[in-house]
Amino acid sequence: MVDGRRGSVSAADVNDIVRTSQQYIDSEESKIKGRVYRVHVVSANKVQVYFGEHLGAGPLGTATYLEAERPRGAWRITHNYLKS
């Protein structure tokens, strides 16, 4: 699911964001696990990527998410916010 300022990013951007985020989550050094279930578009160059053990994991406001930015054309993870 994609929400927020959806028109600010293309379908290809969303695919890149999900792929980059899932690779980060699945990486050997990552202490977080789960599947991407929502991309919230903040702007053309910033998104929040929600993930969890199952779709819709956690209530909004306490969900676990990554922040991704596109500073120079390529999406990269800049922060992770873990629910307490």
Domain ranges for the chain, please list them. 2-81
pLDDT digits (tens, 9 = 90+) for 6-23: 999 999 999 999 999 999
Q: What CATH number has the domain spanning 2-81?
A: 3.10.450
Q: How far apart are CA 27 and CA 33, in angstroms?
A: 9
Q: How far apart are CA 58 and CA 62, in angstroms?
A: 6
Instruction: Please check the confidence at residue 84 and state whether its pLDDT lies above 50.
Output: no
pLDDT digits (tens, 9 = 90+) for 21-77: 999 988 877 677 788 999 999 999 999 999 886 555 555 555 688 999 998 889 999
Identify the CA nearest to 37 among candidates 64, 16, 13: 64
